[in-house]
Amino acid sequence: MANSSPEQVERARFLKIVEKYVSTFTETKVIKKIFENKLTIDDYHRMLLNIFHQSRRGPLTFALAGTRVDLKHWGIQSYLLHHAEEEKSHWEWTINDLTKTNYSGEHPEKLYPTPATSAYVAFNYHIALNMPLARLGIALLLENLGANYGRRVAETLMKNLNLKSDQIVFIFGHGDTDVGHSEEILKILDQAALGVKDWQDLAYAAETAGHLYCEMYNE
């Protein structure tokens, strides 16, 4: 990239980090168990409980970031607030999936999140407060994971656990919508005339969130 600007170099580094975690996500314990037909219904419930805590608080960090991002980045601010509104009730999909697969434990709201889930959620708040623009870096990572694996994971769970589509609403839902979201986020970032530090913040957020998110699927 000899003729690339410093901004282009940092943008490329950010996208390589996203690609790295998309490609290594299948190496996590839970995802490997899914594709090796070793995941039990109890494993699925534990996965849904983690997703509940993530999806219950994720939209709140989008909204928080939207209130703190520099006003010159109106497009990013608008997207953060819109995305918070769009995803604010997705946690209800996890309740649906737990209920329809005969989960008999306590309501997820009464349960503490696992250490890795707690760390991932806390990091999102940290980014929203201190590097709000970089909240979209985490979003791009997760949207790419959903776009690449959501439908495949859902269809594998249906086959291996003998489930119906209305018992895997959360994963199916994100597998279908995340493709468009990935394209939207990258377009918004590219239109924002970001500086080197902005792209470095996005890379840091994606690297750390990617590590923590994978740990959620390794517990």
Tell me: pLDDT of 108 over 80: yes
- Tell me, rounded to whole angstroms, the distance of Cα 149 from its chain centroid: 12
pLDDT at position 2 is 65
Please state the domain extents for the chain. Answer: 6-216
Which stretches within the chain are classed as H helix?
6-24, 29-35, 41-68, 74-87, 91-100, 115-130, 135-161, 169-191, 196-216
pLDDT at position 182 is 85
pLDDT at position 50 is 97
Residue 26 near residue 213 (C-beta atoms within 8 A): no
CA distance 72 to 86: 23
**Rounded-to-10 torsion of CA 186, 188, 191, 195:** -70
For 183-218, what is each residue's pLDDT tens digit? Answer: 899 999 999 999 999 999 999 999 999 999 999 999
Buried b / exposed e along 155-193 (16+ C-beta atoms within 10 A): ebbbebbebeeebbbbbbebbebbbebbebbbebbeebe
Tell me: pLDDT of 166 over 90: yes
Token output for 19: 């690609």
Q: Which superfamily, per CATH, for 6-216?
A: Heme oxygenase-like (1.20.910.10)
pLDDT at position 1 is 59
pLDDT at position 177 is 56
DSSP assignments along 84-101, one per residue: HHHHTTTHHHHHHHHHHT
For 73-106, what is each residue's pLDDT tens digit? Answer: 999 999 999 999 999 999 999 999 999 999 999 9
Alpha carbon of 104 to those of 42, 56, 93, 191: distances in Å? 10, 20, 17, 48
Range name among 123-127, 171-175, 190-194, 199-203 with the lowest pLDDT average: 171-175
Mean pLDDT of 110-135: 98
Tell me: pLDDT of 179 over 70: no
